[in-house]
Amino acid sequence: MHTVDGRPVVAATDLVGFLACEHLTNLERAALADLVKRPDRDDPELDVIARRGLEHEQRYLKTLRDVERRTVAHIATASIEGEIQSEALRRAAEETLAALHRGDDVIYQATFFDGRWRGHADFLLRLDTPSTLGPWSYEVADTKLARKAKAGALLQLCSYTEQLTRIQGLQPAHMHVVLGGRDRARVSFRVKDYMAYYRAVRWRFEEAVFGEIPVTYPPTATYP
């Protein structure tokens, strides 16, 4: 959770955190209001996991380029840590929109931003299915180190898919997870099987984020 132009902006990871612990969402809101301070974490194990995740992502990118012979449009990363990076976020979203309208084969590090929600999908894969973009449309694919797709990963994909649907005027039929392990299998899920649940969770989450802060339970030393 961050602020852009003085307003709270949320991401799919915040939604996943809300499902795990609603009090965490309240603490994040309090941190944005400078009522509490986010604890600093220096965890070498998390650094290793992050590095391995990036390596897995890069291997799949190489597969798309070298094995599947697909051309890739790379969107500049829009990492935000406060209002100072709001221009980078909007620029990345605009570059993503331009790539979608061009019909680029694969869009890497696609960024979405609608004023409240931001999203950073690893890959958007072009299909020859017509949409408002033209005689093509896209589906979302994300890389994960896990050997099986987890619930949090599917919620993230639903969030990106919702943003993509808003732009292309067509809900994709599938969303994809590229799993870890030697095989790096790409597993596909039917979007319509998950969107009703996702929308129900998103509604509860938005009520918690943009409404009054409810009382849950006292903060603990393990936040976040």
pLDDT, tens digit, 9 for 90 and up, residues 145-182: 888 899 999 999 999 999 999 999 999 999 999 998 77
Among candidate residues 224, 137, 132, 150, the one with its CA nearest the CA of residue 187: 150
Peptide bond into 224 cis (omega under 30): yes
Tokens of 73: 């449009």
Give the pLDDT score at 82.
Answer: 45
The dihedral built from the CA positions of residue 155, 160, 163 and 167, taken in this order, carries a sign that is: negative
SS3 109: strand
Q: Do residues 57 and 143 lie in contact, with contact meaning Cβ atoms separated by under 8 Å?
A: yes
% the chain with pLDDT above 70: 91
Residue 118 pLDDT grade (very low, low, confident, very high; cuts 50, 70, 90):
very high
- Whether residue 83 is predicted with pLDDT greater than 50 in this model: the reply is no
Mean pLDDT, rounded, of the chain: 87
Among candidate residues 166, 165, 8, the one with its CA nearest the CA of residue 86: 8
Give the pLDDT score at 219.
Answer: 53
> Residue 34 phi/psi, 5° resolution?
60, 30
As a three-state string, the secondary structure of 111-176 is EEECCCEEEEEEEEEEECCCECCECCEEEEEEECCCCCCCHHHHHHHHHHHHHHHHHHCCCCCEEE
Give the pLDDT score at 23.
Answer: 83
What are the boundaries of each domain within the chain? Answer: 2-210
> Residue 217 phi/psi, 5° resolution?
-155, 165
Q: Do residues 164 and 191 lie in contact, with contact meaning Cβ atoms separated by under 8 Å?
A: no
Give the pLDDT score at 84.
Answer: 42
Q: 16-48 burial by CB neighbour count: b if 16+ within 10 A, else e?
A: bbbeebebbbbbbbbbbeeeeeeeeeeeeeeee
- Rounded average pLDDT over 55-78: 90
Rounded Cα distance between 17 and 22, Å, is 8
Cα(first)–Cα(last) distance of the chain, in Å? 12
Residue 217 pLDDT grade (very low, low, confident, very high; cuts 50, 70, 90):
low
Complete DSSP assignment for 19-52: HH-HHHHHHHHHHHTTSS-PPP---HHHHHHHHH
Rounded Cα distance between 93 and 76, Å, is 10
Mind listing the pLDDT tens digit for each residue in 119-155?
Answer: 999 999 999 999 999 999 999 999 998 888 999 999 9
* CATH class of domain segment(s) 2-210: alpha beta
